[in-house]
Amino acid sequence: MKRWFALLQGALIGLSLIQPLPSAKAAYDKLPAFPGAEGFGYAATGGRGGEVYHVTSYELTGPGTFYDALMTAGTTPRTIVFDISGEITIPQIIVRNKSNLTIAGQTAPGDGVTIRGNNIRFIECSDIVIRYMRFRLGVQIFQDDSMYFEDSQNVIVDHSSFSWGTDEVLSIKSKDYDHPKSKNITVQWSIISEGLLTHSMGGLVEMNTITMHHNLYAHNNDRNPKTKGVMDFVNNVVYNWGQFPYVAGGESGTKGYGNVVGNYFIAGINSENPEYAVVRGNENYHLFLDDNRIDSNKNGKLDGKDSGSGMMEAERPSALVPERFEYPPVHTEEPETAYEHVLGYAGDSLVRDAVDKRVTDGVRSQTGAIIGDEDDVGGFPALKREAAAADTDRDGMPDVWELAQGLDPNDPEDRNGDRNRDGYTNLEDYLNELAAPGYPDGYPLTPPDWSGTPFEPPVVSVPEPETEPVPPMNGETVRSAVVHDDSANGAVNAAAWSVQENLEPGDFVAGDRMTGNKTYKFASVPDEVQGAEWIRTAVGSRSAASEDLLSFYLAADADVYVAHDSRIATKPQWLASAYEDTGLAVADDQPVQYELYKKHYPAGSRVVMGPNGGTSQMNYFVVVKPTAADTPAPASSPSELAGTLSDGPSISLQWSPVDDAAAYLIYRSSTLDPNDKVVGSSTTATYADTAVEMGAVYRYKVSAASAGGESSLSDSIEVPAYDPSLPAPSAPSDLTVAAARSLSVDLAWTPEDDAVGYGIYRSSEPEGSFERIGYARTASYTDKTVNPSTTYFYRVTATADGGESEPSAIVTATTKQPVVLPQAPEGLSAASATASAFELKWRESDGAESYNLYRKGNEEDGYTLIANTAETGYTDDSVSAGQTGYAYRVAAVNEKGESEPSDDLFVAMPLPEKPDRLIAGLTGETFVGLIWTSHGGVTQYNIYRSTPGKPAELAGTAKVDTFYDRSAEPGTHYLYYVKAQNASGESIKSNDVSVWTTGGE
Ligand SMILES: [Ca+2]
Ligand SMILES: [Ca+2]
Ligand SMILES: [Ca+2]
Ligand SMILES: [Ca+2]
């Protein structure tokens, strides 16, 4: 209970910090899409004022097909009307970047239309109106949604029926949750039912501004719906969810702002936790929960209660808020009224097909179950086909209606007139008249008045992360290798690259695949490159598209080999056009052959390599082999280095030439990057550095390179990039000693506005001469050049375009006594171990500041550092169900370094926890649907079946927590149980479930 109040308080405090946006007054005065349109998507314009497309064909594609109607839509708004009725089978339809479309299912004759057989996606579309349609995907060999919207705006879906998705039934979302583009959407008076097992998902409705009202969710195991972002969920009915009803965000912590108001949640046979309507919340999901009903008792009668926040999952609550989020309002009814209205009018209800009849009747009688195949509940129902009324001028309005309205049945242009001046075109008047019986008597068909300020989620500005300068990757011949991986995980990928010496079989192939079950090693290496320096890359970088994914300089003449995955047939242009195929290959133990491509470069060259050219295979790696090893490097280093700042800004460098030099390498460090890196090369004794930022101080050294190698470095020079005509910055204030250890001193001060960097000065006497010991980019610095038991005096300056400030006040730091390496930790043991987490502990070591914990899986080679912690314990929750156990060792760490490791501890992987709450879903003559609850740490589930008196036999296996047994006999009594399996074996069994199949004698 306490945790609950803390969360609530946290939410309220959090909200009070949200500043209302300045006068973002609602523009809620547009013409609704149609009478009865409400909520965020109320003003979608659809095909208003545009052309008319008649669907006349049942073919998959071609003229007159539904596919053609959507795919040929151009810039003119389009209304799609139906001259045919019944089932229309479609190929996949991806509607991308189209706008102003109305799909007017109410125009279909007979029993209306049902779209089946594939999926429709709307991506980056706007002003879409869909009414009185049915979208029923049905069993497929692929998993997909019946309908999917992404990054679309101004959409209203009304009186439509969605079912039998093999992935989700209806999903609506933004692609990038950090910058959501999906806005102003309404789904109303619709049915989202019978997502097919094994997935059985209502849908992801995430990161939109969306209203969902007067909809029915029925018989979806999960996601009824799963929500994030702005959601107005009002007057819906949710029936017979399996594991999860309304999901408030889930575990990811993405923010949510939901109204859940006036809904009726009714548990059914499959509902696992019948008392919870809103589950899987988190502290970032702000929820206004009011006047809902939940009927948990499964007694076949509608007798729900308003259990208030009690209908929210206690273990994973959302952050309740006291006020309803102000969104474009909908007419909010009492849940009992909404229940009647939804069951009476939701879906394609001008003519309810047998599916919607069965589902809505099942809600009333509280029967029905989650299914895995539409044929188990009667399949696609027969739909009456009729001919459409004559429409001579093809303007979407039948002759008879036009004549009655005084329009011209031979003039197609009158469709876009407005004879009654109500704002809707004549064609829209016709469509709206057809649609009108879909609303309950007395339900208001104009949106509620509203002139409020809509709630908008606070925009949390995330500052660009300061990327710390990384030390250069150097080898014998490779200088300052730079990785520029622009893929999603680029920084992590880049950190996995390294320069290695002595290429040989047994080496790990990829820096990001050195542990786990995809660890690859070299199996054979041709003599030509055996023992050479090489650049180990990352498999993850195969997704990078950077033209300069890798660049480096050469300190000697060298052959550069690119080892490229032979499975990638098309070699990237940068490789194919300049490198020679050697016919040689390195092989790894997958096995994969890496074909070796070669190019010769002289010393001083900058080598640049682009992307891999194949996002699903291995990334290339690089071998560098010097070609003039017998040639001596230049004996002397460049001298008389000098530099001057000029406009641009740029810094011109010159030095005395060196005999035998073929090229010079220019090394630089600066206020902005303390690492010496090669920034350029030159074949003459001059260089112009144009990558200069005013206010920084640059420090240069130069080397001479010949075919055989590189000289030592020249003396360094400093060139400040200051403009003396500008004022110098103020001196930094509040300099403090943040920590003084034996071998390091931490300094911190208040950042100066406009400072580009800071100079750090130190003296051993208070009045002595201060020497600059380094530069800092930010307002802190760690001096790692101190001795133990010594007193130091520090002051700092700021540098900016105008130069260097006066020094700050002086601070004093006295370092501690000398440290020694800490003792190796003792007493490493496992406090507990489950199939998904091991809790480890050890005793404190003398002199330890922190501990490094290393781990090795039984199926892995070598230990990997998995944690550094100041605690004397750690819970490893990243154990894999594919490992039979792990060995651990821990070492103590202080300033001096790392202790010897502790004794090894071996922890065997326990058997997984047994699956719980096994229940039968839909049962037919020849099938039984099963659903259970899992507890993680599982590689697969084994499903066992028996008939009474007989031993149980394996009926199948599953990777997810549902299974459909299709080998059952009619009229038979079966007992089922499930066991979870991991690398160590099988769990004990779940509860038994007893099932009679239907039929038989
Ligand atoms: Ca009941
Ligand atoms: Ca007409
Ligand atoms: Ca006409
Ligand atoms: Ca009109």
| 10 secondary structure, DSSP code | H
Q: Encode 403-425: b = buried (16+ Cβ within 10 Å), e = exposed.
A: eebebbbeebebbbeeeeeeebb
Q: Ligand 4: distance of its center to the CA of 173 in Å?
A: 34
Ligand closest to Cα of 395 equals 2
For the residues of 711-741, what is the DSSP string, one character each? -PPPPPEEEE---TTSPPPPPPEEEEEEEE-
Ligand closest to Cα of 300 equals 1
Q: Ligand 2: distance of its center to the CA of 388 in Å?
A: 12
Q: Ligand 3: distance of its center to the CA of 920 in Å?
A: 57
Alpha-carbon distance values, 670 to 516, 679, 770, 780, 799 (Å): 40, 12, 20, 16, 12
Q: What is the pLDDT of residues 783-808, one digit of tens each?
A: 999 999 999 999 999 999 999 999 99
Q: Which two tokens stand for residue 686?
A: 């001059």
pLDDT on residue 460? 62
Decide: residue 489, CB within 10 A, 0-12 exposed, 13-18 middle, 19+ buried: middle
pLDDT on residue 518? 78
Cβ atoms of 752 and 798 closer than 8 Å: yes
The residues annotated with a catalytic role in the active site are: 223
Q: Do domains 7-377 and 733-814 have the same CATH topology?
A: no
Q: Ligand 2: distance of its center to the CA of 89 in Å?
A: 27
Q: Encode 442-457: b = buried (16+ Cβ within 10 Å), e = exposed.
A: eeeeebeeeeeebbbb
Q: Which CATH superfamily is domain 733-814 in?
A: Immunoglobulins (2.60.40.10)
Ligand closest to Cα of 239 equals 1
| Alpha carbon distance 76, 424 (integer Å) | 17
Q: Ligand 3: distance of its center to the CA of 437 in Å?
A: 24
Q: What is the CATH number of domain 916-996?
A: 2.60.40.10
Cβ atoms of 26 and 42 closer than 8 Å: no
Least Cα distance to 270 among 800, 933, 949, 852 occurs for 933
Least Cα distance to 682 among 638, 720, 647, 744 occurs for 638
pLDDT on residue 16? 36
| Alpha carbon distance 921, 372 (integer Å) | 9
Q: What is the CATH number of domain 829-908?
A: 2.60.40.10
Least Cα distance to 812 among 830, 777, 786, 775 occurs for 786
Ligand closest to Cα of 393 equals 2
Ligand closest to Cα of 426 equals 4
Dihedral, CA of residue 801, residue 802, residue 803 and residue 808, to nearest 10: -100
pLDDT on residue 885? 95
Question: How do the domains of the chain map onto residue ranges?
Answer: 7-377, 399-438, 478-626, 639-720, 733-814, 829-908, 916-996
| Alpha carbon distance 924, 270 (integer Å) | 15
Q: Ligand 1: distance of its center to the CA of 299 in Å?
A: 5
User: What region, left, alpha or beta, does residue 998 occupy, with left being phi > 0 and alpha being psi -120 to 50 degrees?
Assistant: beta
Interstrand relation of 885-894 and 905-908 (parallel, antiparallel or unpaired): antiparallel
Q: Ligand 4: distance of its center to the CA of 369 in Å?
A: 45
Neighbouring C-beta atoms of residue 671, cutoff 10 Å:
23
Q: What is the CATH number of domain 639-720?
A: 2.60.40.10
Q: Ligand 2: distance of its center to the CA of 417 in Å?
A: 13
| 506 secondary structure, DSSP code | T
Low-confidence ranges of the chain (pLDDT < 50): 1-25
Cβ atoms of 535 and 457 closer than 8 Å: no
Q: Ligand 4: distance of its center to the CA of 124 in Å?
A: 30
* Three-state DSSP class for residue 992: coil
| Alpha carbon distance 56, 573 (integer Å) | 48
| Alpha carbon distance 989, 977 (integer Å) | 6
Q: Which residue matches tokens 């990785």? A: 483
Q: What is the pLDDT of residues 957-971, one digit of tens each?
A: 987 778 889 889 999
Tell me the sheet residues that pair with 888.
855, 905
Fold of 7-377: Pectate Lyase C-like (2.160.20)
